[in-house]
Amino acid sequence: MFHWLEKHPFFFAVGVFVVIAFAGLIEILPNFAQASRPVIGTTPYSTLELAGRHVYIKNSCNACHSQLIRPFKSETDRYGHYSLSGEYAYDRPFLWGSKRTGPDLMRVGNYRTTDWHENHMKNPSAVVPGSIMPGYPWLFTNKADVDTAYAEQLTVAQFFSVPYNKPVPMKDGSTKTVKMGNSVAEANALALAEAKVIAADMKDQDVKDAVARGEIPEIVALIAYMNSLK
Amino acid sequence: MENRPLEYDYTVAKMFMFTTIVLGIVGMLVGVILAFQLAFPSVNTFLGSGLAEFTNFSRLRPLHTDAVIFGFTLSGIFATWYYVGQRVLKVSMAESGFLMFIGKLHFVLYVIGVAAVVVSLLAGVTTSKEYAEFEWPIDIAIVIVWVLFGMSIFGLIGIRREKALYISVWYYIATFLGVAMLYLFNNMEIPTMLAASPAGESGIGAWYHSVSMYAGTNDALVQWWYGHNAVAFGFTVPIVAMIYYFLPKESGQAIYSYKLSLLSFWGLMFVYLWAGGHHLLFSTVPDWMQTMGSIFSVVLILPSWGSAINMLLTMKGEWQQVAASPLIKFMVLGSTFYMFSTLEGPIQAIKSVNAIAHFTDWIVGHVHDGVLGWVGFMIMAALYHMAPRVFKREIYSKSLMATQFWIQTLGVVLYFTSMWIAGITQGMMWRAHDEFGNLAYSFIDTVTVLHPYYTIRGIGGLLYLIGFLMFAYNIYKTMTAGRKVEESELQNASPMGA
Amino acid sequence: MDIAEIQAYGYFGLTAFLVFVLYSYIYHLYSTDKKEGGHDYENYSNIALKDDIEDTPVSTISDDKEK
């Protein structure tokens, strides 16, 4: 039987496939049924936050920063409560990272401010002496892509029933509704309203002017995203 | 034409040899730049601050990993397949116009795919998933390239004269199937252009953008099932295919135990896929999967060492060849690094070790002793062996090859030793508490301490790149200026000039 | 029986099956060359060593048809 298999490439290939597919079948598929339920207090990303998440991905921030706090005292001391599976329910893709060249960012919104990010992104070593992180000055001039973020919101709402425009339970018993626009124009207006709040805390005059003109620089979206990480 | 005896046709193999070398240089050069950016942050703007967006660490990093995996290594796999495949099946590509056409189309589409990847990564178009950064249009192109590779494998097998499939062919088949399965499932995504707003607008935003079918923990699970096994089916399985052909052929020795090679094959196929969970220890994936990942990673030593020991024992009684031939040196040291790396990996997968090692440079060191020492050495050795057969010329310089061997070996040693120390230092510093139970170090302390190791690593990487350029030069000179050789000189040991 | 239980049984059953197959494969490998009409697996090493296009295949397609 074995010898026959070795001389018949098609059936041989089927055999190999069964053996290698086995692990995935047992390990991954069944788990899909139960995981990815959001924990209470986890809300979907707003349009501007999602645009900021795209900026984060575009610049591969995840190459150096993790978003996964392991259940060790040293990690919870440094970064806050360890990560729970349900907190990632709206993360597509996940951004856990695999290397911590810089610190974890899972709950960076708890201890860094808009103002801090603004200075830091321009020139990290001026804020943290000895930092090896490069500056990201182009984020202050490039414009965030709100349209694509909106398209992504529509996609996840449609295909994965992400609760936009629906009340989501919060930890204190109240509910919160994350709004999503009904049209591209409305989505842009929502994002701009959010951007204005961020820009009010910033010092860079060019960024303030741009937001006043109705444009959203990448840095504003990125900070909105970072502030949402809690 | 009709009177000429039938010969193996290496046209397509030659094309892929070319991309192996070019993309190897690109990938390694970018790697060296990245290494120095970590040691000296001013290198981030080496082309001026105007281009900083495209030359800073984070934008270049995926380009490095993808150029060496999908550029250098994949080209090497294709090049050796189009060489080894014909020989062990005893059938020439020249016998089938169809397969020749498939082979050439495979190459052309591959090059187009590579160009698209380079442009998109530099532009920051990425899905963020490691080694699967490409957006859906490129994913589709990659699937087509892969299907052509499969057609070429099974097409050539279909017209073979040798009924039994040599062990290398087993490994090539497994490479094809494994990558196909992993890639398809990991890249399940929905293009966002399909969505329509309540106001009736559609095709909103960037047309190439997509969103992953999996969310959060599931996404991580699928990604590392893929990421780990991309290493299996990109850096292990096809490279084992190469050494099972090239080492016996170059040394003239039959494989020590052919049966052992078959057993290791099935062992590797079954065990490897389970080990992906070790990338997610202490994360939010279910505990039993983490434990499974740990256990199977340790079990994985058996089939890995089965292959590696089999290769070393093939040289039994013939160790003088290792001293005499730099080509054999590359393969024997490659095999040794394989053993080393497959021992190191399981150690890192043990939970208590992983608690320190994860997220640090030790992991980077582990990847590189495997990739530089095993994958890189083996692909270069394969190309050195192929060059005289493909170009019908002697290898240009043996002494250059020997020098290259020692420079690169030194480079690899500098690389992994510095990364070990860096990783363990940083891992220990992150978890250190003072006598009052407070964290002993702020994060930046654990970064600045790494500077000397990052510098040594950069030098190690640079030495490896220099060695690779010597390799490229040697192959180029072989092609253009090597002494012409007769078929009779090409039986086993490759002919080499001084 | 929930999905986790099916998963556990499925895992155990298939693993036991594959281990059984692996051991019978080992037995097959090491006993076949002694048997009548068996194959010498070590001989397949020669597929790499004698791989010129004029070399005689280690096991030819036509051989198989005669059997």
Q: Do B270 and C18 touch (CB under 8 A)?
A: yes
Judge whether B204 and A148 are in contact, CB under 8 Å: yes
Size of chain A in residues: 230
| DSSP class of B162 | B
Q: How far is A18 from chain C (nearest CA, A)?
A: 10
**pTM for the structure as a whole:** 0.93
| B153-203 confidence digits (pLDDT tens) | 999 999 999 888 999 999 999 999 999 999 998 999 999 999 999 999 988
Neighbours of chain B (3+ CB pairs under 8 A): A, C
CB-facing half-sphere around the CA of B319: CA atoms within 13 A: 5
User: Domain locations in chain C?
Assistant: 16-33+40-53
Q: How far apart are CA B372 and CA B334, in angstroms?
A: 9
Q: Do A33 and C3 touch (CB under 8 A)?
A: yes
A32 touches chain C (CB under 8 A): no
pLDDT value at B66 more than 50? yes
Distance of CA A78 to the CA centre of its chain: 20
User: Domain locations in chain A?
Assistant: 2-33, 47-228
C23: chain A residues, CB-CB within 8 Å = none
Identify the CA nearest to A121 among candidates B125, B38, B58, B51.
B58
Averaged pLDDT for residues B119-130: 94
From the list C46, C53, C57, the residue facing B6 with the nearest CB is C53
pLDDT value at B54 more than 60? yes
3 state SS of C8: helix
Q: How far apart are CA B44 and CA B32, in angstroms?
A: 12
In chain A, which residue's Cα lies nearest the Cα of C39? Answer: A3
A76 touches chain B (CB under 8 A): no
Q: How far apart are CA B306 and CA B261, in angstroms?
A: 7
Reading phi first (left if > 0) and then psi (alpha if -120 to 50, else beta), residue B6 is in beta
More confident residue, B430 or A6: B430
pLDDT of C16 reads 85
Q: How far apart are CA B420 and CA B316, in angstroms?
A: 32
Q: Which residue has the tokens 């296009």?
A: C53
Identify the CA nearest to B461 among candidates B5, B48, B34, B15.
B34
Averaged pLDDT for residues B46-58: 91
Q: Do A30 and C32 touch (CB under 8 A)?
A: no
From the list C7, C14, C25, the residue facing A2 with the nearest CB is C25
Strands, DSSP E only, in B98-217? 189-191, 210-212
Q: Band of the pLDDT at C8, cuts 50, 70, 90? A: confident
Q: How far is A27 from chain C (nearest CA, A)?
A: 8
Which residues 52-71 on chain A approach chain B with CB closer than 8 angstroms?
A: 57-64, 66, 68, 70-71
Q: How far is A19 from chain C (nearest CA, A)?
A: 8
A135: chain B residues, CB-CB within 8 Å = 44, 52
Contacts for B165 with CB less than 8 Å, ≥ 6 apart: A6, A7, A9, A12, B89, B157, B173
Min mean pLDDT across A82-96, A168-182, B1-15, B120-134 is at B1-15
Among positive and negative, which fits the CA dihedral B125, B127, B130, B132? negative
Antiparallel, parallel or unpaired: β B210-212 and A175-177: unpaired
Six-digit token string for B319: 């160790």
pLDDT of A167 reads 94
pLDDT of A211 reads 96
Q: What is the DSSP string of chain A?
A: -HHHHHH-HHHHHHHHHHHHHHHHHHHTGGGGGTS-PPPTT--PPPHHHHHHHHHHHHTTGGGT------SSHHHHHHH-SPP-GGGGTT-SS----SB-SS---TTGGGT--HHHHHHHHH-HHHHSTT--PPP-GGGGTSBP-HHHHHHHHHHHHHHH---TTSEEE-TTS-EEE----SSHHHHHHHHHHHHHHHHHT---HHHHHHHHHT--BHHHHHHHHHHH--
Question: Cα dist. B147→A19, B158, B177 in Å?
Answer: 21, 16, 10
Residue contacts between A and B (CB atoms, under 8 Å) = 264
Six-digit token string for B473: 């030069």
Contacts for B287 with CB less than 8 Å, ≥ 6 apart: none
Q: Of B46, B58, B428, which to mutate for an interface test with A (greatest number of A Cβ within 10 Å)?
A: B58
Which residues 182-221 on chain A approach chain B with CB closer than 8 angstroms?
A: 182-184, 186-187
Element (H, E) at B435: none
Cβ neighbours, 10 Å, residue C42: 14
Min mean pLDDT across A221-230, B7-16, B369-378, C33-42 is at C33-42
CB neighbour class for A189 (10 Å; exposed up to 12, middle 13-18, buried from 19) = middle
Q: How far apart are CA B117 and CA B139, in angstroms?
A: 10
3 state SS of B390: helix
Q: How far apart are CA C51 and CA A138, in angstroms?
A: 58
Does the domain at A47-228 match CATH 1.10.760.10? Answer given as: yes
pLDDT of B57 reads 95
pLDDT of A2 reads 76
Min mean pLDDT across B105-109, B208-212, B412-416, C47-51 is at C47-51
3 state SS of B443: coil
Which residues 77-116 on chain A approach chain B with CB closer than 8 angstroms?
A: 77-78, 83-85, 87-103
Cβ neighbours, 10 Å, residue A82: 16
Averaged pLDDT for residues A94-104: 95
Q: Do A151 and B193 touch (CB under 8 A)?
A: yes
Q: Do B257 and C42 touch (CB under 8 A)?
A: yes
pLDDT value at C65 more than 50? no
Contacts for C8 with CB less than 8 Å, ≥ 6 apart: none
Distance of CA B418 to the CA centre of its chain: 21
Which amino acid is residue B53, in one-letter code?
Answer: E
pLDDT of C7 reads 76
pLDDT of A35 reads 56
Q: How far is B224 from chain C (nearest CA, A)?
A: 20
Judge whether A91 and B215 are in contact, CB under 8 Å: yes
Distance of CA B390 to the CA centre of its chain: 23
Q: How far is B5 from chain C (nearest CA, A)?
A: 9
Six-digit token string for A183: 């049209």
Which residues 9-38 on chain A approach chain B with CB closer than 8 angstroms?
A: 9-10, 12-13, 16-17, 19-24, 27-28, 31-32, 35-36
pLDDT of A33 reads 62
A7 touches chain C (CB under 8 A): yes
pLDDT value at A1 more than 70? no
C39: chain A residues, CB-CB within 8 Å = 3
pLDDT value at C63 more than 70? no
pLDDT of C67 reads 39
Neighbours of chain A (3+ CB pairs under 8 A): B, C
| B235-259 confidence digits (pLDDT tens) | 999 999 999 999 999 999 999 999 9
Distance of CA B211 to the CA centre of its chain: 27
Q: Band of the pLDDT at C31, cuts 50, 70, 90? A: confident
B155: chain A residues, CB-CB within 8 Å = none
A174 touches chain C (CB under 8 A): no
Reading phi first (left if > 0) and then psi (alpha if -120 to 50, else beta), residue B124 is in left
Antiparallel, parallel or unpaired: β B210-212 and B189-191: antiparallel
Six-digit token string for A28: 């991954």
C25: chain B residues, CB-CB within 8 Å = 262-263, 266
Residue contacts between B and C (CB atoms, under 8 Å) = 76
Q: State the complex-level ipTM.
A: 0.93
Q: How far apart are CA A167 and CA B191, in angstroms?
A: 27
In chain A, which residue's Cα lies nearest the Cα of C27? Answer: A2
pLDDT value at C39 more than 60? yes
Q: Of A2, A4, A27, A34, which to mutate for an interface test with C (greatest number of C Cβ within 10 Å)?
A: A2
| A186-224 confidence digits (pLDDT tens) | 999 999 999 999 999 999 999 999 999 999 999 999 999
Averaged pLDDT for residues A168-176: 92
Q: Band of the pLDDT at B2, cuts 50, 70, 90? A: low
User: Domain locations in chain B?
Assistant: 11-193+210-483
Our CA dihedral for B386, B107, B467, B393, rounded to 10 degrees, sits at: 30
Contacts for B395 with CB less than 8 Å, ≥ 6 apart: B327, B384, B387, B388, B401, B474, B478, B482, B494, B495, B496, B497
Q: How far is A151 from chain B (nearest CA, A)?
A: 6
CATH architecture of the domain with range B11-193+210-483: Up-down Bundle (1.20)
Q: How far apart are CA B193 and CA B201, in angstroms?
A: 10
Q: What is the DSSP string of B251-316?
A: HTPPPS-HHHHHHHHHHHHHHHGGGGGGGGTTSSS-HHHHHHHHHHHHHTHHHHHHHHHHHHHHTT
pLDDT of C66 reads 42
Q: How far apart are CA B387 and CA B394, in angstroms?
A: 8
Alpha helices in chain C (DSSP H): 3-31, 46-49, 61-66
pLDDT value at A30 more than 70? no
Question: Cα dist. B231→A109, B136, B367, B480 in Å?
Answer: 35, 22, 9, 35
- Compute the mean pLDDT over every residue in chain A, rounded to the nearest whole number: 92
Q: Do C59 and B164 touch (CB under 8 A)?
A: yes
Q: How far apart are CA B342 and CA B301, in angstroms?
A: 6
Q: How far is B350 from chain C (nearest CA, A)?
A: 22
Averaged pLDDT for residues A177-191: 95
Q: Band of the pLDDT at C62, cuts 50, 70, 90? A: low
pLDDT of B1 reads 46
pLDDT of B3 reads 60
Q: Do C49 and B252 touch (CB under 8 A)?
A: yes
pLDDT of C53 reads 84
3 state SS of B202: strand
Size of chain C in residues: 67
